[in-house]
Copies of this chain bind each other. A is one copy, B any other.
């Protein structure tokens, strides 16, 4: 390792440029690779991961030991750990991605125009994708597989705390590419832990077509602000369930409870419950008791607190900040609203435009809610926890986009592609 920082930085620049050039060249090869060849690579990678399980765990042990020494907290160490079960899960993920339909080359809407030409759109890879992620090593396999299947080359920059694990996984990926006769540069794992590499990657407009950061909000905000390459990003998940006064009580209880408590730390977990003031008060009381029993801390507006006054359930006063907070924890804010209009207004103001659900039996309100709520997923009588690539049938997801351009919501193989126009003529010219 060179001690001169200036030389180091220029080394990183040269190194990242080399990766970029190789990725661009490899993207041409993978862009035109046949589906069967891509699937063969994915299946060979999966097999190799299983065969190499001991090697992976040994590499992982190095990362875990270094992490413990650095004093990483238990949650981080848990995310970092590779067990036999997790390795099998990674391999299974690759096999599943191999089984998905290949989006590349699908031509849609090919039709004759009055001029005599045929015009349609062909689905094509984006080119080179840069993925920046934190401690989970399984992202290395998942992300590589999704990019490869969608015909893209990928440059992976994982967290420095997982460097040995990531390189061991990368070796299995390389093996799979080789077995299938694909260039190894289709999937490249950045080997330096120098942070300057991230800066180079997100500014490499010539070599990288899109950056996808996966990790905490801090990471994603920093990358979005500094990137010159377009970013598909996922910020907050401040999700709402609105219980309408025409809700079915049983559905309201099930959905509102599941949306909050099925998992606390996920972006599609409900953070604020909105309840119509004309809704059956019994629902609110029963729900509050269910949350309390589950250990969820409640914070409510004045009306909500008044309604629960004699219920025996404790509910703190919600502050303005609560409405704008993604707890990712067993905490729920509750607001009583006069009408669906007020609910939509609240959502428009505080939601992160991720996922919102209305509980109602009223057809017209359901129809309006679906049209007027501007979030990436809008639901009727369903748990916000369904906002997920697997549940939506994408087969897998690289993340959930909170952007408006290109892709909104769960991003699967199709979100890693674009469409070009194809025109078929027979000597046709413009008049």
**Which residues of A are in contact with B by a Cβ distance under 8 Å?**
28, 31-32, 105, 111, 113, 115, 117, 119, 122, 124, 126-127, 209-210, 230, 232, 248, 250-251, 254-255, 257-259, 262, 348, 357, 368, 370-372, 374-383, 385-387, 391-393, 403-406, 408-410, 418-430
Contact = CB atoms under 8 A, between A and B. Distances in A.
A32 B372 contact: yes
30 contacts: A28-B374, A31-B374, A32-B368, A32-B371, A32-B372, A113-B391, A113-B393, A115-B386, A117-B391, A210-B405, A230-B403, A230-B405, A248-B427, A251-B427, A255-B425, A258-B430, A357-B423, A377-B421, A377-B423, A378-B420, A378-B422, A381-B424, A381-B427, A382-B427, A385-B429, A386-B425, A387-B421, A408-B418, A408-B420, A410-B421
B423 A379 contact: yes
Indicate the member of A250, A420, A422 with the most B CB atoms within 10 Å.
A420
A406 B409 contact: no
A430 B391 contact: yes
A119 to B, nearest CB: 5
Contacts of A232: 405
Nearest to A419: B408
A34 to B, nearest CB: 11
A119 B430 contact: no
B262 A427 contact: no
A338 to B, nearest CB: 19
A260 to B, nearest CB: 11
A249 to B, nearest CB: 10
Contact of A348 (B28, B124, B391): B28
Given A391-B115, A427-B248, A409 B382 contact: no
Given A405-B230, A418-B404, A255 B429 contact: yes
Given A375-B420, A378-B420, A406 B408 contact: no
A80 B406 CA distance: 34
Contacts of A259: 429
B230 A382 contact: no
Contacts of A382: 117, 423-425, 427-429
Contacts of A230: 230, 403, 405
Contacts of A378: 122, 420-423
A425 to B, nearest CB: 3
Given A404-B127, A404-B209, A424-B380, A429 B254 contact: yes
A251 B372 CA distance: 51
Nearest to A113: B393
User: Which of A210, A262, A380, A385 has the most chain B CB within a 10 Å cutoff?
Assistant: A380
Nearest to A409: B421
Contacts of A423: 357, 377-380, 382, 386-387
Contacts of A422: 370, 377-379
A159 to B, nearest CB: 26
B430 A385 contact: yes
Contacts of A254: 427, 429
Contacts of A380: 423-425
Given A122-B370, A404-B126, A409-B420, A428 B393 contact: no
Nearest to A403: B230
A240 to B, nearest CB: 14
Contacts of A262: 429-430
A250 B427 contact: yes
Contacts of A405: 126, 209-210, 230, 232, 405-406, 418
Nearest to A111: B393
A405 to B, nearest CB: 4
Contacts of A119: 386, 391-393
Contacts of A392: 113, 119, 421
Given A371-B105, A372-B31, A383 B420 contact: no
A259 B357 CA distance: 52
